[in-house]
Amino acid sequence: MLVRLLNTGNVTWYRDGTNPIKLGTDGARDRSSRLCTTGWAGCNRPARLAEASVAPGATGTFEWPIAAQASSGEWREYFTPVAEGITWMNTGLNFLVRVNGVYSWQVVGQYAATNSSKTTGVDLANLTPGQKVWVGILAKNTGTATWYRDGLYPIKMGTSHPVDRASPFCDSSWLGCNRPAKLAQASVAPGEVADFGFWYVAPSTRTVYREYYNLVAEGPTWLNNPGVNHYSVVR
């Protein structure tokens, strides 16, 4: 987070020294903030003045990281500048904080079939170069955030080990060679199971593959990685 505050007083602000200018938690004053994380001077002091000094009429900068809560919700977080050891300044600085919830998942099933109807299974350990197979992963939403296929932060299947690599099994129907599929359902609530199905094309090189995936909420975060993979042999 970052704010720039105008020094409307008649005293110069200083970052260091006996009375440094910092941001302190307010409403109630000096409380521990739920956004506190590494980099704060204390859970009641998120930031100090970035500049060495700020004269009257000039603007000072305060910048600090935040840690999101483990559960969804919305609240206002209040801060006020303080000249340590002397006085708190006039109040009014606040932020509306909204947490969409925790993203986490576990694998509950996998499949490989000749097509999306999934009526005829395919042995991934016995593929031929160029063979096209419909594969999928069933994922249980074990978090507190609802997953969405579209809109803000859509949930997709991404390549893993390492993340965002181009897959040798990439098909033209993929969102990208690092994104084989998006959520099949419009939404999946906590406790429900999602289906990520996609075409999987065997590479020309005849060898053994372990193709790893993980879920990603596009924009904010990758989810926990349970190590799901397709063990495949191209003969």
Q: How far apart are CA 147 and CA 7, in angstroms?
A: 44
CATH number at residue 110: 2.60.40.10
User: What pLDDT is stored for residue 71 in this prediction?
Assistant: 53
**Residues 110, 224 within the same domain:** yes
- Residues 149 and 199 grouped into a single domain: yes
pLDDT digit string, tens, across residues 205-224:
999 999 999 999 987 789 99
Give the separation between CA 118 and CA 113, rounded to whole angstroms: 5
In this prediction, residues 123-134 reach a mean pLDDT of 98
Where a domain ends, among 66, 82, 99? Answer: 99
- Of 99, 128, 156, the residue that ends a domain is 99
pLDDT per residue over 31-79, tens digit each?
A: 999 888 889 999 999 999 999 999 999 999 999 998 765 555 667 899 9
Q: Which two tokens stand for residue 177?
A: 């060679």
CB 28 within 8 A of CB 82: no
Which pLDDT band holds residue 102 (cuts at 50, 70, 90)?
Answer: confident
Rounded to two decimals, the pTM is 0.61
pLDDT digits over 106-124, tens only?
Answer: 999 999 999 999 999 999 9
- What is residue 60's predicted lDDT score, i.e. its pLDDT? 97
Residue 72 is predicted with a pLDDT of 58
Section 180-184 average pLDDT:
96
- Same domain as 153, residue 45: no
Regarding whether 61 and 174 lie in a shared domain, the answer is: no
Task: Give the domain range for residue 38.
Answer: 2-99
Q: Are residues 48 and 63 in the same domain?
A: yes
Query: Do 60 and 148 fall within a single domain?
Result: no
Give the residue from 35, 19, 53, 11 showing the smallest Cα distance to 94: 35
Same-domain pairing of 75 and 167: no
Identify whether residues 228 and 115 lie together within a single domain. Answer: yes
Question: What average pLDDT does the segment 127-146 reach?
Answer: 95
56 and 119 part of one domain: no
Of the three residues 99, 128, 163, the one that is the final residue of a domain is: 99
Task: Indicate if 186 and 76 belong to the same structural domain.
Answer: no
**SS3 at position 18:** coil
Residue-wise pLDDT tens digits, 138-181: 999 999 888 999 987 899 999 999 999 999 999 999 999 999 99
Q: Return the ∠ at Cα 208 (arms to 217 and 206), rounded to 5°.
A: 115
Percent of the chain with pLDDT strictly greater than 90: 81
